[in-house]
Structure 1
Amino acid sequence: MRIDKYLWCVRYYKTRNVVTEACKKNHITVNGVVAKPSKEVFPTDVITFRKDQITQTITVLDIPDNRVGAKLVDIYRRNDTPPEVYQHLELLKLSKEHYRKAGTGRPTKKDRRDIDDYGNENYPEDDEDNFKFE
């Protein structure tokens, strides 16, 4: 079976066109060799590909006849990606949420003023006595 069809069948990519583009960008290797979309895949082949900031490694166990359901994917592949990679992805997601919540959009004028005033909180407020009007 072709590599693009295999990765589509085991539900790593949504369409075969997306797999083909990933192959053209050299994101997919089979047994350490960069793969073209037409590369044939056989059982015991090791496929390494980069998707969603994760370099995933899978081993082909069997070749499906056509696209399989999500519950049946484990029959056809073994995921050899280390768990530390997934933990690193979770940390990246949490760090992005720390700075600004998703969906809040651009800062408003009030938010910008609050940000600008944040550094000025250490200085005492100006008193009216300090101003001299002439």
Structure 2
Amino acid sequence: MTQNAENTLKIAQQAFEKFTHALATGEWQEFLDMLTEDFNFWFPVGKFHGLNEGKARAKEFFEYVSASFHPGITLTSLDRVTSNETTVVFEFRDEGLLFGEPYKNRIAVSFDVRGDKICAYREYFGSDGKSY
């Protein structure tokens, strides 16, 4: 693994720890602090379907996630991590309550890394239960 690929993986793992902590607690600021100003994200469904741009839109999205999954989502397993020079994909399972109803799912999130920040996020889900 090259030095750049090692750094990409290290930064993405730090971001993923902050991401999963925020899913569980609703406290997103430490994760948001790791995002570039020109951050963009792609989400597969709903109000945030498609490409979304900017940190303000990301803050709105992640606050929506926390409101939807109150009191929080628990990571139940980290199944796979795949990385290259610029991107790291985390495949995991999670569970909690979605709008008060039992929820569990398989998720893949992809973080693009630039320097020591996350510049893009993509999410894919859906085989174990309700999705939002």
Higher RCO structure, 1 or 2 (CA under 8 Å, sep 6+): 2
More strand, by proportion: 2
Please say which structure displays the higher CA radius of gyration. Answer: 1
What is the TM-score of this pair, normalised by structure 2?
0.33
| Larger helix proportion of the pair | 1
